[in-house]
Amino acid sequence: MTLTVRAMRSQFAASSQLAYILETAHTWALSVQHHIVAANLDQSLLFATLRDPKTSFGFIDRFLVISEAYHVPAIIVFNKADLLRNKELAQFELAKQIYEPIGYTVKLISIEKNTGLDDIQAILKDKTTLLSGHSGVGKSTFINYIFPELKLRTKEVSGWSGKGMHTTTFAEMFDLPFGGKIIDTPGIREMGIVDVSRQELAHYFPEMRAVMGECQFNDCNHLEEPGCAVKDAVNAGIIHHERYLSYLNIRDTIDDKSY
């Protein structure tokens, strides 16, 4: 039997254990047998790639907003290091520059070449971690690496069109042999920002949260208002411009009736 996460969400609305990122992604389905409803998340780990396929920073920012909204620490792991040329290596350095100062762990690994994986195991050890990421970034490959006996299906992304079929259809929870649990979610193309209003969105950008108390207006939207500390910080290079653009983009996609 399967239930959609949305359905489960209303069913268990009173439970404090619903601090899942899972609940925000209404297209994800998961199987009840794996008892994901009983899991508390310690952290969320986004698998990303800078090539074949390329994960956009906008997508990463959506993932981070959802993690912040549910108070779950987030880790960004770029896989397929073996494929990176100078251009993509520069992108990785940029990602570190953007995300590390605002509190997120950023790692570069290659599952294929077995580099960086010890760090990831150390991060996962004794924690319950939600694995997330676009289809094709290597989540199944990673789980196969940890549990060789499972032999999950992985999909070739040669000739990647961005429209391939997902190979992981259900969220599943695995006990890690070295302690801890991982929840694997289906590859997702678009992450909806559910239950975040336009007014509260800036709270989920830690670097905005840090300065927004200084805005002239309490209800500042950080758009064109005078005396906006967020825009000042963007102009001063304290808040990265890419992040501010993500704020604007995500804000635009939030349907806010009170606005």
Ligand X SMILES: Nc1nc2c(ncn2[C@@H]2O[C@H](COP(=O)(O)OP(=O)(O)OP(=O)(O)O)[C@@H](O)[C@H]2O)c(=O)[nH]1
List residues binding Zn ion (CB under 5 A): 215, 220, 222, 228, 230
Counting contacts by CB under 6 A, is residue 30 touching ligand X? Answer: no
* Residue 255 binding result from Zn ion, ligand X, none, given CB thresholds of 5 to 8 Å by partner type: none
Residues in 69-88 that interact with ligand X by CB under 6 A = 79-80, 82-83
Q: For residues 62 and 41, what is the distance between their CA atoms, to the nearest angstrom?
A: 18
**Least distance CB 251 / Zn ion (angstroms):** 12
| Sheet strands (E) in 125-233 | 128-133, 172-175, 181-184
Window contacting ligand X (CB under 6 A); options: 32-40, 54-62, 128-136, 207-215: 128-136
**What are 152-158's contacts with CB under 8 Å, separation 24+?**
157/52, 157/53
Omega within 30 of 0 (cis) for the link into 53? yes
Structure tokens at 220: 């500042």
Give the other-Cβ count within 10 Å of 247's Cβ.
Answer: 24
For ligand X, the closer of residues 185 and 251 by Cβ is 185
Residues in 215-234 that interact with ligand X by CB under 6 A = none
Counting contacts by CB under 6 A, is residue 135 touching ligand X? Answer: yes
**Least distance CB 65 / Zn ion (angstroms):** 17
Scanning the structure block, which residue is given the tokens 């007014």?
A: 199
Which of 72, 138, 172, 243 touches ligand X (CB under 6 A)? 138
